């Protein structure tokens, strides 16, 4: 079992990402000291749990609450209207973890005070099934133990990685934060291509979904690199090679993916102002 927090955690925002993370924390036992959720639009899935207290605003939290970790999981566009109310918790022994895309550490330091210990994190939606990956970047005030606490929390919903240069977080967003949507769209495109080739719609959808899911699982389990796995399934002058000649052309998938990731990264920088 993962190491348990000694004091409660406080989750601000309980949408799909926040809810997925909270499910992981409760299941793993990390939140053994209890969890508080501030969610004005309801968190029905947790409302009847004895180990979770759901309130609609920060004013409804107990006056003596001393959270060990505060997770900020509201949308980036709403963060400036929300975060200032939590400055009262910004003591050296309270860690703030933000999962808001494009919202910088310097923004939180300005809102919470220069003494605030902050870890900026970029998770992705496979966290909902415990298969996410989250990249974290701490500020100078976060202690080694607090960074370890953030790592333990985020490992409850998948893998973690750490960067020291916050400027890389926009590229992380472009690859892994937004990346699941690219894969889902690829499934859509493969299914549509199958229909265009004459397959029934339900069969094309099933083939596309299981092929992507199975290929991803194989890539995780195999000792071979994706490049080698691609070569393993590609016979010279065969059907796969014919398709790859299109996908690997100068105007094929790679330049399109590079452009897509760059667009996401640029949008992250725009959100940061």
Binding-site positions: 73-76
Greatest alpha-carbon pair distance for the chain in Å reads 71
Measured CA distances, 253 to 16, 23, 250, 262 (Å): 30, 36, 9, 14
Residue 135 · residue 121 · CB < 8 Å: yes
35 C-beta neighbours (distance < 10 Å), count: 24
Compute the distance between CA of residue 68 and CA of residue 52 in angstroms, rounded to an integer: 15
- Which residues are part of a known binding site for NADP(+)? 73-76
Compute the distance between CA of residue 73 and CA of residue 174 in angstroms, rounded to an integer: 19
β-strand pairing of 132-138 with 35-38:
unpaired
Compute the distance between CA of residue 105 and CA of residue 100 in angstroms, rounded to an integer: 11
For residue 82, give the 3-state DSSP assignment: helix
Compute the distance between CA of residue 153 and CA of residue 214 in angstroms, rounded to an integer: 28
CA 140, 144, 149, 154: dihedral to nearest 10 degrees? 70
Half-sphere exposure at residue 34, Cβ-oriented, CA atoms within 13 angstroms: 12
Nearest to 96 by CA among 65, 60, 121, 128: 121
Q: Is the dihedral of CA 112, 113, 115, 121 positive or negative?
A: positive
């Amino acid at each position: 079992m993962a190491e348990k927090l000694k004091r409660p955690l406080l989750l601000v925002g309980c949408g799909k990402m926040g809810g997925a993370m909270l499910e992981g924390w409760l299941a793993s036992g990390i939140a053994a000291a209890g969890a508080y959720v501030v969610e004005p639009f309801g968190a029905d899935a947790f409302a009847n749990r004895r180990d979770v207290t759901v309130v609609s605003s920060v004013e409804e939290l107990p006056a003596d609450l001393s959270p060990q970790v505060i997770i900020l999981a509201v949308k980036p566009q709403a963060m400036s209207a929300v975060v200032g109310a939590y400055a009262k918790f910004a003591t050296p022994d309270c860690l703030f973890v933000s999962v808001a895309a494009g919202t910088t550490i310097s923004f939180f330091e300005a809102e919470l005070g220069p003494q605030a210990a902050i870890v900026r994190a970029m998770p992705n939606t496979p966290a909902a099934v415990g298969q996410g990956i989250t990249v974290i970047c701490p500020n100078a005030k976060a202690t080694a133990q607090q960074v370890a606490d953030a790592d333990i929390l985020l490992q409850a919903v998948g893998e973690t990685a750490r960067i020291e240069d916050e400027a890389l977080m926009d590229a992380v967003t472009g690859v892994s934060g937004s990346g699941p949507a690219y894969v889902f769209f690829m499934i859509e495109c493969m299914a549509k291509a199958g229909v265009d080739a004459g397959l029934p719609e339900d069969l094309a959808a099933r083939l596309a979904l299981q092929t992507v899911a199975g290929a991803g699982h194989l890539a995780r389990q195999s000792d071979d690199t994706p490049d080698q796995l691609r070569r393993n399934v590609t016979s010279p002058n065969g059907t796969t090679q014919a398709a790859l000649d299109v996908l690997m052309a100068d105007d094929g998938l790679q330049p399109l993916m590079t452009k897509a990731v760059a667009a996401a990264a640029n949008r992250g920088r725009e959100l940061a102002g």
